Chains A and B, each alone.
Chain A
Amino acid sequence: ETAVFQTPNYHVTQVGNEVSFNCKQTLGHDTMYWYKQDSKKLLKIMFSYNNKQLIVNETVPRRFSPQSSDKAHLNLRIKSVEPEDSAVYLCASSYLDRAGNTLYFGEGSRLIVV
C-alpha cells in the first residue's frame, strides 16, 4: 500500500516532556511536510523538507525540530512540550514543484499535553 503513515496516532503527555512523531511515505515523493491543525481546524505549515532544503516557518518555536534519515521519512521532535502544543500534527508528502502539486496526508497524530 502506498500512502503516508504516521505513528503514534494519539499521545498524552505532561508539560515539559519530550515527544516524537514519526512519518513515513511510500509514494516515492521527494518532499515532506509537517502541519499543525488546531482545535478550530486551522492548518499551519511548520516545516517542509526535501533532500536539498529545509524550510522552517519562522513562527515555529525552537522546541520543535524535524528529523529526516532519508526522503521517505520525516519525524517531528518536540523537546519540552507546552499546553499550547496540544493539537493534531499532520504529515504530508508531494513532489517538489514550485508551480504547485498535490499533497498526500497521513491520518494525523493527536497530541494532548496535560
Chain B
Amino acid sequence: GEQVEQLPSSLIVQEGASVLINCSYTDSASVYFPWYKQEPGKRLQFIIDIRSNMERKQTQRLTLLFDKKTKHLSLHITATQPGDSAIYFCSASNYQLIWGSGTKLIIKP
C-alpha cells in the first residue's frame, strides 16, 4: 500500500531562518497532498495542500512544491517565528489519506 516518508524527523533553527521539510510517497495514484500542523497542546490543523495537477502553491510564508515524476513534495517555510514551532505532517490521498511520520520543528528565539 501507499507509504509516505517524511524527512527530517526533527529540526531546530534560529528565528528568522527558512526551513525545508521533504516528503515522498509511493503510490502514483495519489492525487491530493494536504499538510497539517500540530502545535504543542493544540489540535491538528490544516495549513496547505496541493493537487497532482499543480507544481507549486504558496500561502503567506509557506510554499509547497510538488514533483509528480519523482513523487516528492517539499514544504518551505520562510522567516520562521516561535509560533511555527510544531509537528508538521505531510499526507497523500488516493481516496484514503496516508500520513507521514511528522517533522518536529523547533524555532529558537
Contact = CB atoms under 8 A, between A and B. Distances in A.
Interface of A: 4, 40-43, 45, 90, 92, 98-100, 102-108
A41 B34 contact: no
Interface residues of B, number: 22
B79 interface: no
Given A45-B96, A45-B97, A98-B95, A103 B102 contact: no
A41 B32 contact: no
B29 to A, nearest CB: 11
B102 A100 contact: no
Contacts of B46: 102-104
Contact of B43 (A40, A98, A108): A108
Contacts of A108: 43
B101 A42 contact: yes
A105 B44 contact: yes
Interface of B: 31-32, 34, 36, 38, 42-46, 49, 51, 87, 89, 93, 95-97, 99, 101-102, 104
Given A100-B93, A102-B34, A106-B43, 13 more contacts: A41-B38, A41-B87, A43-B99, A43-B102, A45-B97, A100-B31, A100-B32, A100-B34, A100-B51, A103-B46, A105-B45, A107-B43, A108-B43
Contacts, number: 45
Given A41-B38, A43-B99, A102 B44 contact: no
9 contacts: A4-B43, A41-B87, A41-B104, A42-B101, A99-B51, A100-B32, A100-B97, A105-B43, A108-B43
Identify the 10 closest CB pairs spanning chains A and B, nearest first.
A100-B32, A100-B93, A105-B44, A43-B99, A102-B46, A105-B43, A98-B95, A107-B43, A41-B102, A41-B87
A94 B28 CA distance: 24
A110 to B, nearest CB: 11
Contact of B31 (A45, A99, A102, A107): A99
